[in-house]
Amino acid sequence: MGKHTLRSRTACALVLAASLNAGCVTLEDGEAPPDAPILLRPEARKLLGAKMADVVVETRETVANMPLHTQLIRQVAQESKQAVVSIYAQTKTPYRVSLLPIRIPGTSFRVRVPGIGLGSGFFVHPSGYVLTNNHVIQDAEQIRVLTRDGTDFGVSVLARDPVYDLALLRIVGSGRRFPVLPMGDSDAAAVGDFVIAVGNPLGLGHTVTAGIISQTERNLSGVADEEARHIRFIQTDTAINPGSSGGPLITLTGAWVGVNTAGIVEAQGIGFAVPSSQVREFIHEILAGEGKPEPGTAKP
């Protein structure tokens, strides 16, 4: 798939999205139960017993008391741009169409809407491992990754977590070494720390926004810790728009501490990211072979 094909499909997807958002029609994905396990693909077998360093590059310097000079954010943005990718997922996903802008039982029905899903991701290891959101690639029939230099690659899905909304991909058919962002410790990040978000909003391509961490440990699920798993979101006022999902939330040391996941359209400056501490849990379970085979695939 070449660049011109990706752009033309992106334009079609944006027209579709605009037509849906313009009226009183909403598309709602089915929600995963809070106790849903990680889903493993056969390719995940190769990671059984591997070390964290074989999949993710880490750093011990998550935050630092550094002077906020005028070039600092520019420097972090420049250093991160080569590691962030745009993701285009060809889908034919079942959605629930609601005839009203609010949820009322009996006023919705399921349909299959073909199109291109737009999202973001980033390299976490030079061998081509890419992290993104599960909702970016869920039910995708084909996934392509477009790098900053305009090269597109096919990827395989190794594992995905419908509860933490995470997915681990790997570039296929390439012997290249890729630039990476090092993973920081989200537990070391605090309210008020400066962060930037990098992604592919609305299919526009590489875009940087900046802000601070507004809150941590934000539970939006209504599920208590003792009942089931849930995301302990990092809340940020950094702009996270449709298509930015799956991109990194980066501190001023250049370490990523979250995977940008959602923003509240009706609000101003309220976005959410999955913290790196929960990404670590996700990767550890893959390396231990925990989870269950993805339905329709061979046992990992």
Residues designated as active site: 135, 165, 245
C-alpha distances out from residue 197 to 3, 81, 211, 241, Å: 24, 11, 8, 10
3-state helix, strand, coil in the chain (%, to 5): 20, 35, 45
Encoded tokens for 254: 């250049």
Please, which contacts does 7-13 make with residues 24 or more away whose CB atoms are closer than 8 Å?
Answer: 9/88, 9/116, 10/88, 10/116, 10/118, 10/203, 11/203, 12/115, 12/116, 13/115, 13/116, 13/117, 13/118, 13/203
Residues 299, 294: Cα–Cα separation, whole Å? 8
The amino acid at residue 71 is Q
**Phi and psi angles of residue 269, each rounded to the nearest 5 degrees, phi first:** 75, 40
Contacts of 271 (CB under 8 A, 6+ apart): 197, 235, 236, 237, 238, 239, 240, 260, 262, 263, 264
Instruction: List, in sequence order, the alpha helices (H) in the chain.
Output: 3-22, 72-80, 134-137, 276-287
**Phi and psi angles of residue 82, each rounded to the nearest 5 degrees, phi first:** -75, -20
Looking at residue 34, what DSSP letter applies? T
Instruction: List, in sequence order, the alpha helices (H) in 61-106.
Output: 72-80
CB 205 within 8 A of CB 198: no
Strands 292-293 and 39-40: parallel
